[in-house]
Amino acid sequence: MALSNHVAFYQAGENAHGGVLVLIRKDIPVTRVSCSLPNICVIDLLLSEPTRLVAIYAPESKTWRWSELTNLTNNRCIIMGDFNVDIEKDGEKADQLLEWIDSCHLRPVVLDSNTSLRSNRTIDYALTTGVDLTIQTYEGTTNSDHKPLIGTFTGNDAKKRKGSRTVWSVFSLFLSYTYEFWEQKEWNTQASETTYEEFITFLTSLNNRCQQYFALNQARPSIPYELLKLLALSHSLSFKAKRKGDIQLRNEARRLRNATRFELRRLQQEQLTKQLRERHTSGEDSALFWNKTKRHFRHISSSLRGFETPKGEIIRDPQNMVDTAADYYEKLLEAPVVIRPHPYVDAPPVTWENATTPIPNVTYPEIINILQSRKKKKSQDIHGLSPFILDKIPRNYWHLFVQLYNYSFATCLMAKKFKE
């Protein structure tokens, strides 16, 4: 049998041709959620982040209401199937469905084309929350009177649950070992394009090689060295007390442990207060705050029902709404009429007094002073490198960069990698 490697889940329907069938590949762990509603099959996909799949068929003769599905939704679910409601064309029925969608914080994922082969209506689509889903129709031959839907969602959970850190000591040490290789064999100022490109490629590969990856659920916040010493001392005393049976040592270890935990909680509270205070400013604290809170954001679907004109009239027709919005934004965003004064248009080119003066050479101390004065950001460029890496490059490499910079200034040639 072609589907022997799948597990079938079936929920009976209310009419003779009703019912919902879900096939799940056997290597995907799943559990079925109990549901007594006909034509509704609920499956929990036990992925790295559990995702609920609700397969639905809602015929015109259904005996249940949309509100009865509320308890089946969670913060990461997909409801997909035949809703028998065209959100744009079915008036009151569409309004009832949209009100329930908004109450459950769901997001409709609807195609631009019709899905019914018997009418020009779009009644097959998906509702999601917490899942980035894309859908399309199968345009091949089918025995159904509906176009089959194909839904795809990417699981970035493994990436989100993985953290990384760069072992900078290894990075700097390896660069120290390879300095002689670059200085004597590979560094050719005359071929600055090739030299710089090869060195940037080398830095990118070395940076990736010095990465350590770990599960985020095993990550721990950085603890000050003094508190680490107290924790280590309490562990040592606790071990000695257990080995010797000394009650006084046990009490002392407990006192140290409780005192350290109190200081740690106080430190975390201070850090949280600081993050809340500086969450709208640029810096590491605001980045840390938003990295922790963004995972709790939810997609909210706001359905646009109509426009109110300045005269107080309500426009509900979709075509009139689109035309009104287009006219408004066309007028708002139209290109301004700029009158350019004659002197600015026909002004002669500017002649600089020092145009023939050569650019002075850059010196090694100047580069070091600039490196020390600039704040090192962790934003990455197209090669995956950040200004933070500049402090980790051994200083003797900057003697090689001085040669490259001065050659670029003297010849007015800039390596392509400079621009990236």
In this structure, the answer to whether residues 13 and 148 fall within a common structural domain is: yes
**91 plus 187 within the same structural domain:** no
Give residue 62's domain range: 6-159
Q: Categorize the per-residue pLDDT at 2 as very low, low, confident or very high, splitting at 50, 70 and 90.
A: low
- Give residue 173's pLDDT: 92
The pLDDT of residue 342: 62
Contact 20, 39 (CB under 8 A): yes
Q: Are 316 and 305 in contact (CB under 8 A)?
A: yes
pLDDT at 1 exceeding the cut of 60: no
Query: Is 248 in the same domain as 211?
Result: no
- Judge if 417 and 310 occupy the same domain: no
- CATH number at 38 reads 3.60.10.10
- Judged by DSSP in three states, 109 sits in strand
Q: Strands, DSSP E only, in 123-250?
A: 124-129, 133-137, 149-153, 162-166, 211-215
pLDDT above 50 (res 211): yes
Predicted confidence at residue 197, as pLDDT, reads 83
In this predicted structure, the answer to whether residue 340 has a pLDDT above a threshold of 70 is: no
The verdict on 34 and 150 lying in the same domain is yes
Report pLDDT digits (tens) over 49-62: 888 999 998 888 88
Which pLDDT score is estimated for 345? Answer: 58
Tokens of 109: 């994922």
Q: What pLDDT, in 10s, does the model give residues 393-414?
A: 888 888 888 888 888 877 877 7
Q: Do 141 and 101 belong together in one domain? A: yes
Please, is 227 exposed, middle or buried when counting C-beta atoms within 10 Å of its C-beta (0-12, 13-18, 19+)?
A: middle
- What is the per-residue pLDDT for 174? 92
Question: Is residue 339 in a domain?
Answer: no
The answer to whether residues 366 and 409 belong to one domain is yes
Average pLDDT over residues 181-186: 82
The total domain count for the chain is: 4
Is there a contact between 129 and 105 (Cβ–Cβ < 8 Å)?
yes
Does residue 352 belong to any structural domain of this protein? no
- Nearest CA among 150, 95, 83 for reference residue 121: 83
Is residue 350 one of the residues assigned to a domain?
Answer: no
The answer to the question of residue 341 being in a domain is: no
pLDDT digits (tens, 9 = 90+) for 92-141: 888 888 888 888 888 888 887 888 877 888 888 889 888 888 888 887 77
According to the 3-state scheme, what is the secondary structure of 66-85?
Answer: HHHHHHHCCCCEEEEEECCC
Together in a domain, 21 and 149: yes
More confident residue, 300 or 236: 236
Are 29 and 91 found together in one domain?
yes
In a domain, 75, yes or no: yes
Give the DSSP H or E segment for 7: strand 6-11
Last residue of a domain, one of 319, 334, 349: 334
Look at residue 408 and tell me if it is in a domain.
Answer: yes
Tokens standing for residue 201: 């490629």
Percent of the chain with pLDDT over 90: 4
Average pLDDT over residues 192-212: 85
Tens digit of each residue's pLDDT (9 = 90 or more) over 264-310: 888 888 888 888 888 877 766 677 777 777 767 766 655 677 888 88
Does residue 50 lie in a domain region?
A: yes
pLDDT in tens, 164-179: 788 888 999 999 999 8
Q: Read off the tokens for 141.
A: 């031959």
Q: E-strand spans in 200-273? A: 211-215
* Number of other CB atoms surrounding residue 167 within 10 Å: 12
Mean pLDDT for the stretch of residues 132-158 = 77
Structure tokens at 285: 């604290």
Mean residue pLDDT of the chain comes to: 81
Residues 113, 13 share a domain: yes
SS (H, E, C) 20-63: EEEEEECCCCEEEECCCCCCEEEEEECCCCCEEEEEEECCCCCC
* Same-domain status, 241 and 322: no
The answer as to whether 351 is a domain residue is: no
Q: Phi/psi zone of residue 130: left (φ > 0), alpha (ψ -120 to 50 degrees), beta?
A: left
Quick one: DSSP state of residue 385?
-
Residue 417 CA to residue 420 CA, distance in Å, equals 5
Same domain, 32 and 155: yes
